Every structure is written in C-alpha cells, then in structure tokens.
Structure 1
Amino acid sequence: MSTTTVTTTINHFINGAETAGEGDRTTPVYNPATGQVSAELRLANRADLDTTVAAARKAADSWGDISLAKRTAVLFKFRELVAEHVDELAQLITAEHGKVLSDAKGEIGRGLEVIEFACGIPQLLKGDYSDQVSTGIDVFSFREPLGVVAGITPFNFPVMVPLWMAPMAIATGNAFILKPSERDPSASLLLAKLWKDAGLPDGVFQVLHGDKETVDGLLTHPDVDGISFVGSTPIAQYVHETATKHGKRVQALGGAKNHAIILPDADLDNAADHLAAAAFGSAGERCMAISVAVAVGDAADLLVKKVEERATAVKVNNGTVPGAEMGPVITPASKERIVKIVTEAEQAGAAMVVDGRDLVIPGH
C-alpha cells in the first residue's frame, strides 16, 4: 500500500470543542480508492474516556430537565444544518469509505428521516394514566431520560447509523457519546460541529475516537447507562454480554445478510435490476447486499443472463468520479477476503459468469 505525506490529524470532540486529548496513540486513515494515508486519527486513553463521560454526565443532568419545546427547537435547527451540508458530508464519506457520492448522499437522506422523526418526540414521550384499576387505585406511568448513552457505530454507514442513534437519544433528554469506526471518522466530527451550531449544550453530543480499549471502557464505565451498537455478530455478542454484566441497557445489532428467492413467474428484469443494485451498491458493504439469490426452476438461466448484463455494465471507479456506480471496498484485507471467496467457489465448481478479481482502475 502506497502512502503520502500526512498533513491532517483528526481529533476528538469533547465538551463542545475539538481536542487532541491526552492519549499518545494514533492510527492512519486511508483513502480506499488510492491506498494513500489521508490523516492520522488520535485514539483515546482512559483519561480521555473519563473526561468525556464526566462531561456527558454533567450535561445529561441539565439537558434532561430542559423543556421539550427547547429540545425540539435544537433538533429542527440540526435537521436544517444537516440538509445544508449534505454535499460536504457526502464528500467526507466517499473520501474515507469509498462509496460513490450518490450512495453517500442516500445514507445521509436516511439519517435525515430519523432526525425528522425525533422532531416529533413530544407526542411519543407522553405517559399513561388509568383511573380506578382497582378500588381506590389509579395507575400512571411517565418516561424519563436514561442519562448517558454511547453509540458504537460501523464503517459502512458513518453518517446514517450515528443518526439512527443520536437524535433519538438527545430528543429524549440523554447525553450521547459517539465512538465511530476508526476507518472513516471525519463525518462524525462534522456532525458534532453541526449539533453545536444548532444550539446543543456542550457535552450533550461528543465524539470519542478509539479502538477496543475505548469500546471496553464504555461498556464497563459505571457512569454510562446505555449502549447502542451496530457491527459484526461476534462483536455484537461481546458488547451485549459485557455491557449487560455491568448493568447497562444494550441494543446490539449484529451482522445481517439478505437472501432473495426468484420464482419462475417473477418479473426477471425487475429482479435483475434489484439484484445488481443490491450487489454493487456501496460495493456490497451493507446488509442489503443480498449475498445469495436462489432462482427457482425455469427462472435460473435467464436470470443469470440478465444479471450478467447488468454486472458488466456497472461503472467502477473512484467514488468522486461523475457517473461512478461502484467504488472500492474499504481495505485491502476486505478485497483479499472477497477474492478468496470467489476463488474457492470457482474451485468448488461454480461457473464464473462475470469475474472481477483482476479489475484495475488506472491510477488507483
């Protein structure tokens, strides 16, 4: 892998400001299209973690008491700012993840939908009241913020998945700590700045970069009340087991793989369109990739031909190039794993209808 001179250092965002923190470890961030190092990412140590959690705890105590009207005013402003910065966010995603700009803008659109949903949170926060459930006994319920929650998010959707989590946590009165993937961290920092510009108090949304040391710290820290995770199934199991052992509420979403079944009476052109879009969108690095398609009976041969036509027509290039439809996978290791799977399938007798193992994009 080639490298170039690094001029950028990516910092944390703690208590309302960018900061280098106290940790002395860094890790390179690559442009997957070129293989070149684009930045060095600072990794948190225990002191950085404690500082971040303490700021979140202090912020949560006051943010949870702020009126819903003021909370939703911040959310409406944040939604406006994200919409204004779609192009900038998309460029950051493409530069570090590799997906084409249209894919990047699509994931931001999905994130905006969650922000818009969170803007209507007052209706969802209402409690219940039941009169005279038994003689002289009434029952009521009310909803309260949990406190400090942390989100641990994957590389494949560096804006969409944080926006699944943070707007809902913040709208309901919690402070949120984001630990994004080390592979494409820059979009998270821009989100943090947009939250601040929207009027969110310092400490309510923070970004803490790190690796397993930071993850373990969040899972076990006594002042972190909840964890939300999206990633591989083995890590999801580890996150769930570790955090629940330490008394935290946990969402742990593990790896998903979609399958498709195509029956003989299906619209095969429509099916082939969707199979190609699923396979090659975001270079297949998403749960919607459809790793397996089962064609039933007479559908098989014709469907393979139609998918072949669409596969060979896919425009593969750097995600920033106009008209590109598929960019690179995230790391050389990912490419090697995919090539290994295809090679093993061929050795087992699979027919190679389209073979992209030796594809080279000039200059990349």
Structure 2
Amino acid sequence: MAPVVERNRDATAPHLRLNFIDGQWVAAESGQTRENVNPADFSDVIGEFTESGGVDVDHAVDAASAALASWRGLGPIKRAVYLTEASRILGERAEEIAAVITREQGKLLGEARGEVERARAILDFTAGQARTLGGVTVPAEDDRTFSFTFRKAIGVVALIAPWNFPFAIPMWKVAPALLSGCTAILKPSPLTPLTSALLVEVFEQAGVPSGVLNLIQGDVAAGEALVANPAVAGISFTGSLPVGTAIHAGGAHRLLRTQLELGGKNAVIVCDDADVDKAVDAVVKGAFGQAGQRCSATSRAVVDVSVRDEFLEKLIARLGELKVGPGDDPESKICPVVNTARLDAALDAIAGAQREGGKVLCGGEREVRDDLPEGCYVQPTVVHTAWDSELAQEEVFGPVLAVIDADGFDHAMEISNSVKYGMSGTIFTASQSRAFEAIERFEAGMLHVNRPGVGAYAHLPHVGSKASQYGPPECSPEVFDFYTEWHSACITY
C-alpha cells in the first residue's frame, strides 16, 4: 500500500475547494467558482468552490480510464485493504467530518454523527465482501469440461450524489465501485462540495492510487458531460425523478448502464389497533428528522378515522415541543432545509394544499425568531388533506406531513399505493396478520412494521419500486450487480 498522505486537517483548506483528478487537487479549467453558504446562517460563507465543465470531466475520465487495468488487476482482497484503511482514518476524523456536514448541509450534529457512523459501517461491510465476490461452478454437459461463472468490473463509473446525505450516499457508491474493480468519478451536489472533498481526501490518505477515485465539483454541465462521455460505462445516480430520467434517456443510445435511486412519497399507516404513542414517535422521527429531507422520509400519515383525533392531538403536542434551529445548537430538534429553493418549495407546497382545501393544523410558515440567525428554517407542518391532493401525491422534501383519513385497513392500503413512487412503506398495527398482509401489499421497496419508516442497514438493500428505483439496489451484496457484469467460462481438459 502507498504511504499515508499527510494533509492540512483544516476543513476549509484551499485544496478542498478544488477538483481531485489523477491524484492532484486542481481548479476547473474555466476558473469559475460557486459560493457555498451555511443554510443555518447566511452570514457564514464556507468558501468558493471550483465549478467544472466538460473539459474537466474529460480529464477525470481519462485519468480513471488509465488507472483501470492496474486497479482491476489487484483483485478484490487487495482492494479491500484500502477500504479498511479508509475506515480507520474515518474513525479518527469522524467528529471533524460530522461538524462539516452540519455546517454545510444543515442537519443536526447528532444526525451528522450518525451519517458518519453509517458511512463507516458501509466501508466495513463492503470490505468484508471481498472474499465472497466470486461466481459459482456448474455442471457441464460435455465430458471432461469444467464450467464456472465470475464477475468482472464494468469499467469507469460516474457516481452522482445528492446533498441530503452528502457523506453516506457517496460512500455507498464509492466503496462498492472500488471494491468491484471499477475506477470512479464522484460528482457531488454543488450544495455540499466540502463534505465530498473530505470523503475523497480520506481515500487519498488511505493510499488509493492516482486516477482510481476522482472528484469533479459542479452542476448540470458536469453531469451532462459524464453522461455523454463514451468511456463512462455506468452511472449511479441518487436524486430527483426528472434528473434521473434525463440521465437514463441521455445514455440510452449507447446502452449506458444506470442505477437510479429517485424520489419517494412514503406512507405510514396507523391502524385502528395501533399503539398511537409509538406511531406518533415514529412519525416525528420519520417526517421531521433532518427536516424531512430523506428519500424515505414519512411524508404521508394514513390514519384510521377511529384513532385520527387522538393521533393528531398527540402529534401536534409533540411538535410544539420541538425547537427549530441550527444543527450545532444542542437544543435544536429540527434543522433548517438546505437552501432557499427548498425553503420556497416547502412553503409553496403548503400554500397549494390550502388552496385545494387542506387544513394546516400546525406550522405552515417560515420560522423567524430574534434568537435565530437568518437561514432556511421552516416550521414543522401538519396538513389534513385529501388522498389525491398534490401535497399527498408529490414529493416535498421538507418538514411537511400530509395526514389522510382512512376508513379501514383496505382503504389505507389503497391510499398508500396511490402514488407513483414506492420507496418506503410502514404500518402500525397489533395484528400479526395485518402486518404480514401489508408487507405483501405495499408497493414499496423498504418495509417497516411498528417502527420508524426511515433508516436502513449497510447489509440490506436500499431500494425502491415503481418510480423510486431503476436498476440494482444500493448497499447489500446485490449492489455488485451494478458495478460488475457476469461472465461464464467452459474449459475442456
């Protein structure tokens, strides 16, 4: 393994504002930059980060292509050594990185620490897959013939990551990509460039060879260039349905392999026999944790009319106890949204629901207080609305919950499955029969019974159905079905 690279650990160090191409921190060819601002405090400018275009992308793809043969030739067991070293370094730098996530993305410091822990769990799990990443032997039809299957890395991959989990989601792309033998270009969201630079620096410190992992900072131009470059064999994307669809369509003419994790409009069903207190706890966590900015966030509570009033009374009381504030304030329970565009989108969704006849039961406005810096703060909001309203059908990605009446279990299941998305489904019930029937009937990829509908394990598939997912899952052993392709061989002796 190459020696550990010593770097300035100041998270605002100039090199972290650049691209990382072929083992070097370099500015974009255009010289253009983008300002990065703390969503909890507009007066806190984190820095100016390089803004890349097609030329920079081509340089990164060329570097990844040049490094591919030697990296793929190492084999998964030797490649896993780098992941294990990255996990060790991440453990040492966990608090530093969590603080940067909070400053840049806005989430509570406790949530940021949990994200770093999740990223390290993904590294450890992925490294452990090195000794199982093989094929099978099968009987041959011919005499004196040995038949078997094996995996081979697909080549150079582009990893396009979102801002809501700016460390964990890139990690669950980078780790399996590298273990499989692919070389990679990571393009993070332009809203969280510093967090992604820290992730790449961890791998640099771990000694990953030049060109194996590259970082391109930028927005639409960089993403389009990755889709268009013929040397990119696959793109793993997490983000919105329209962008994911555009990536898939843009590469379809050359049969570009895509793995797309898209939106969600997730329901929690609260049955007439539910433990209402536990359901309220789960909804508070699922709908308002991280200000609702999760693909698996609870954005609909489908509540049996017999327990609706009790549920709403307890839910609104709980929300009244939660302080909205900066992520680094220990008293804050709900963080800001990531930028003014998400702030406006949340407020517009609430106003639209009211125009359609929805009733705002709490919140509904921007949070403004004398003790609060100017930032992207939205009050936790509950809207009682119809199942087919826009608020109940379309993703908001903010701290806004639609509460929908259900007349019995079957009705609740129909409402839950009425949306185009299928990321997560949750039910609260005392009935074992209902629980198993719900698991069978939910049109969603990740299912929960009597627990919050958010969160997942590093070794379980992170996957949706319907318009929430295209291609193999992320996390879990199944992720390697994206980064590798199957081959078969027959040897006559």
TM-score by length of 2: 0.70
Contact 1:7 1:39 in 2 (8 A): no
Q: Say if 2:33 is the partner of 1:18.
A: no
Equivalent positions of 1:218-229 (< 5 A) are 218-229=226-237
Partner residue, 1:3: none
Question: Which amino acid in structure 1 is aligned with residue 192 of structure 2?
Answer: D
Which of the residues 259, 268, 280 maps onto 2:276?
268
How many angstroms does 1:34 deviate by?
Answer: 1.4
Partner residue, 1:255: 263
Q: Distance in 2 between matches of 1:351 and 1:250?
A: 41
Partner residue, 2:118: 110
Distance 1:12 1:306, change over 3 A: same
Contact 2:227 2:235 in 1 (8 A): yes
Distance 1:61 1:261, change over 3 A: same
Partner residue, 2:95: 87
Q: Say if 2:34 is the partner of 1:27.
A: yes
Contact 2:161 2:239 in 1 (8 A): yes
Unmatched 5+ residue regions in structure 2? 1-11, 375-493
Question: Which amino acid in structure 2 is aligned with residue 116 of structure 1?
Answer: D
Q: Say if 2:174 is the partner of 1:160.
A: no
How many angstroms does 1:145 deviate by?
Answer: 1.6
**4+ residue runs over 6 A deviation:** 6-9
Q: Distance in 2 between matches of 1:271 and 1:109?
A: 26
Q: Distance in 1 between matches of 2:288 and 2:75?
A: 45
Which of the residues 178, 182, 185 maps onto 1:174?
182
Distance 1:119 1:305, change over 3 A: same
Question: Which amino acid in structure 2 is aligned with residue 252 of structure 1?
Answer: L
How many angstroms does 1:356 deviate by?
Answer: 4.5
Partner residue, 2:433: none
Superimposed CA distance per residue, residues 288-313 of structure 1 (whole angstroms, 9 cap, x where no aligned partner)? 32111111121100000111011111
Unmatched 5+ residue regions in structure 1? 1-5
Partner residue, 1:363: 373
Contact 1:133 1:139 in 2 (8 A): no
Partner residue, 1:323: 331
Larger helix proportion, structure 1 or 2?
1
Q: Distance in 2 between matches of 1:64 and 1:10?
A: 29
Equivalent positions of 1:333-348 (< 5 A) are 333-348=341-356
Superimposed CA distance per residue, residues 289-341 of structure 1 (whole angstroms, 9 cap, x where no aligned partner)? 21111111211000001110111111211111123211111111211221122
Question: Which amino acid in structure 2 is aligned with residue 52 of structure 1?
Answer: A
Equivalent positions of 1:129-278 (< 5 A) are 129-135=137-143, 137-278=145-286
How many angstroms does 1:116 deviate by?
Answer: 1.2
How many angstroms does 1:110 deviate by?
Answer: 2.0
Contact 1:220 1:246 in 2 (8 A): no
Contact 1:11 1:19 in 2 (8 A): yes
Partner residue, 2:407: none
Contact 1:229 1:251 in 2 (8 A): yes
How many angstroms does 1:87 deviate by?
Answer: 1.2
Contact 2:76 2:131 in 1 (8 A): no
Contact 1:158 1:184 in 2 (8 A): yes
SS of residue paired to 1:324:
coil
CA RMSD of aligned residues (A): 1.8
The count of aligned residue pairs is: 359
Question: Which amino acid in structure 2 is aligned with residue 27 of structure 1?
Answer: R
How many angstroms does 1:44 deviate by?
Answer: 1.3
Distance 1:225 1:283, change over 3 A: same
TM-score by length of 1: 0.94
Question: Which amino acid in structure 2 is aligned with residue 16 of structure 1?
Answer: G
